[in-house]
């Protein structure tokens, strides 16, 4: 059933959208075919039942009880209904943006030369623009459209004014262009940290040179992304990060939540890079940025893809900083926001982590036994915490048993990326060596630490290092 576009698109509609879509289909302006409205209801029934197949003949019989099934006509009906639903989705977005509607109205007024509506249409558009809560790049694109349409209105008037609004048109177009170009260039640079791809962006060097010489602090959508750019191209200068942090505190409310989240992600990624480079203060900065995201309600923990990882990252950072009480309160305050199908695992695993850091090892074992291991990440990390716990409890026999079963699991599971698998295998190797170290044997301990430092990619290397140091 997943291959049927019509069925697939209907699965994405929530209850309120289905109600509005039904009204849309019954509007004679958009649809004058009762058969398409009926087909919509029949397909909705299939979605609710999560049907595996489309009973074409049965659907046809309900719409055309006296006619023989015609596969060509049925496909045409499905295609027509799909186009209508796509139109509904586009209409929804159009209606959500009043300023877009206002700019189209100005354009229509200018095209029809409706002289008596000029002032009203322009006044409405300018008023809506002034009331906009957000000022991302496309805010200036709409400003550009308003000014461009006003220019068209002026050109139709009998009395031409001596000076047009061309400066305003070009100014808004320039701001939009600069901000959008910066936004996507920052995205390109960010991607290149992970994958080496070549991108050709025209005039980017000229734009950067221009921005370095001109003050755009009055345009947040330019200044924020320019500061992000500097954290990526001149990352050794921490002043750029702190300037970005200042701008985020000052201007984040001027961006839609989705874009504000992306902007904060750049700050988080910078903190990660600095922490990985050994700049310890940036673990605390990482935590501060996350707390600001929580305070401003920018993080969406209900997002199935990003919510649980953020939940885990916040907890891990707070635990490493010794914020145990804060961590426990955070788990209790935000656990209900997690997706229902991931909530129990996320809460149980992270409580186990909390108790591990608090040295309550018996609780760790009890909680980890409640984690369902269908999720690969939880499975891998739970095994590591459990091995560390067995070491802390001096339970060497179960530790060795788990090491061996985990090693076999890593080798047999083809879903684990090769480099990720090696990181866990390295951990098994070093924790095994750790168990054989004798307290006070400084030479062997120093050799262990030297080998650990020279090995790239070892899970929980900080814990291994700390345990070795305790044996000195």
pLDDT tens per residue across span 348-359: 999 999 999 999
Please state, as a whole number, how many other Cβ atoms lie within 10 Å of the Cβ of residue 22: 15
More confident residue, 183 or 153: 183
More confident residue, 191 or 324: 324
- Which helix H or strand E contains 428, and what residues bound it? helix 418-435
Segment 262-285 mean pLDDT: 93
pLDDT tens per residue across span 426-438: 999 999 999 999 9
User: By the 8 A CB rule, do 42 and 6 touch?
Assistant: no
> How high is the pLDDT of residue 126?
83
CA distances, 180 to each of 22, 173, 232 (Å): 37, 11, 17
User: By the 8 A CB rule, do 449 and 468 touch?
Assistant: yes
Of 79-83, 172-176, 186-190, 257-261, give the lowest mean pLDDT range. 186-190
Position 215 pLDDT exceeds 80: yes
Segment 115-120 mean pLDDT: 80
What's the DSSP call for residue 321?
Answer: T
Position 195 pLDDT exceeds 60: no
> How high is the pLDDT of residue 201?
82
> How high is the pLDDT of residue 1?
46
End-to-end Cα distance, the chain: 63
Closest CA to 400 of 376, 362, 429, 423: 429
Q: Is 203 left (phi over 0), alpha (psi -120 to 50) or beta?
A: left
Please state, as a whole number, how many other Cβ atoms lie within 10 Å of the Cβ of residue 276: 9
> How high is the pLDDT of residue 150?
81
Look over the chain and give the mean of its residue pLDDT values, rounded to a whole number.
Answer: 90
Of 151-160, 175-184, 330-339, give the lowest mean pLDDT range. 151-160
Quote the pTM value.
Answer: 0.81
Segment 393-402 mean pLDDT: 95
- Which helix H or strand E contains 13, and what residues bound it? none
Question: How far apart (Å, rounded) are the C-alpha atoms in residues 158 and 212?
Answer: 44
pLDDT tens per residue across span 369-388: 877 767 788 889 999 999 99
Percent of the chain with pLDDT over 90: 68
Question: How far apart (Å, rounded) are the C-alpha atoms in residues 18 and 53?
Answer: 22
Work out the burial of residue 153: count CB atoms within 10 Å of its CB; fewer than 13 is exposed, 13-18 middle, 19 or more buried. buried
- Which helix H or strand E contains 386, and what residues bound it? helix 376-392
Question: How far apart (Å, rounded) are the C-alpha atoms in residues 75 and 455?
Answer: 60
Question: How far apart (Å, rounded) are the C-alpha atoms in residues 314 and 331?
Answer: 10
More confident residue, 462 or 1: 462
Please state, as a whole number, how many other Cβ atoms lie within 10 Å of the Cβ of residue 301: 21
Written as one string, the DSSP assignment of 324-372 is HHHHHHHHHHHGGGS-HHHHHHHHHHHHHHHHHHTT-HHHHHHHHTT--
Of 5-19, 115-129, 252-266, 312-326, give the lowest mean pLDDT range. 115-129
Helix axes 220-233, 239-251, angle to 10 degrees: 150
> How high is the pLDDT of residue 115?
74
In total, the chain counts a number of residues equal to: 472
pLDDT tens per residue across span 33-89: 999 999 999 999 999 888 888 899 999 999 999 999 999 999 999 999 999 999 999
Q: What are the helix (H) ranges across 214-339?
A: 220-233, 239-251, 257-276, 281-295, 307-320, 324-334
């Amino acid at each position: 059933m997943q291959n049927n576009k019509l069925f697939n698109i209907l699965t994405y509609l929530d209850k309120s959208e289905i109600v509005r879509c039904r009204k849309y289909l019954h509007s004679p302006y958009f649809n004058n075919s009762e058969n398409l409205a009926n087909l919509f209801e029949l397909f909705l029934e299939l979605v609710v039942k999560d049907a595996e197949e489309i009973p074409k003949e049965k659907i046809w019989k309900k719409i055309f009880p006296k006619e023989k099934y015609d596969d060509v006509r049925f496909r045409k009906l499905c295609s027509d209904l799909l186009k209508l639903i796509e139109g509904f989705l586009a209409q929804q977005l159009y209606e959500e943006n009043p300023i877009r509607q206002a700019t189209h109205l100005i354009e229509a007024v200018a095209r029809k030369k409706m002289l008596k509506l000029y002032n009203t249409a322009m006044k409405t558009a300018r008023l809506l623009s002034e009331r906009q809560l957000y000022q991302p790049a496309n805010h200036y694109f709409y400003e550009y459209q308003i000014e461009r349409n006003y220019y068209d209105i002026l050109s139709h008037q009998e009395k031409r004014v001596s000076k047009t609004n061309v400066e305003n048109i070009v100014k808004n177009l320039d701001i939009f262009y600069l901000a959008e170009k910066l936004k996507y260039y920052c995205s390109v640079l960010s991607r290149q940290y992970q994958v080496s791809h070549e991108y050709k962006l025209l005039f980017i060097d000229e734009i950067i040179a221009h921005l370095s010489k001109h003050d755009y602090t009055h345009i947040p959508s330019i200044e924020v992304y320019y500061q992000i750019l500097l954290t990526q191209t001149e990352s050794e200068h921490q002043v750029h990060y702190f300037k970005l942090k200042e701008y985020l505190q000052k201007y984040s409310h001027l961006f839609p939540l989705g874009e504000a989240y992306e902007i904060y992600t750049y700050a988080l990624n910078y903190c990660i890079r600095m922490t990985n480079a050994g700049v310890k203060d940036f673990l605390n900065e990482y935590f501060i940025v996350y707390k600001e995201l929580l305070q401003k309600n920018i993080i969406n923990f209900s997002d199935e893809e990003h919510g649980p990882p953020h939940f885990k990252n916040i907890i891990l950072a707070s635990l490493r900083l010794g914020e145990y009480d804060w961590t426990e309160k955070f788990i209790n305050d935000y656990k209900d926001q997690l997706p229902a199908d991931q909530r129990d695992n996320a809460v149980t695993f992270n409580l186990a982590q909390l108790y591990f850091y608090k040295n309550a090892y018996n609780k760790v074992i009890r909680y980890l036994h409640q984690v369902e291991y269908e999720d690969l990440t939880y499975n891998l990390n739970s095994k590591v915490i459990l091995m560390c716990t067995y070491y802390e409890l001096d339970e060497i026999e179960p530790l060795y048993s788990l090491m061996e079963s985990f090693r076999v699991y890593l080798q047999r599971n083809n879903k684990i990326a090769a480099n990720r698998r090696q990181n866990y295998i390295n951990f098994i190797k070093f924790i095994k060596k750790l168990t054989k170290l004798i307290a006070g044997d400084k030479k062997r301990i120093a050799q262990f630490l030297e080998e650990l430092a020279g090995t790239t990619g070892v899970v929980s290397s900080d814990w291994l290092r700390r345990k070795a140091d305790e044996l000195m």
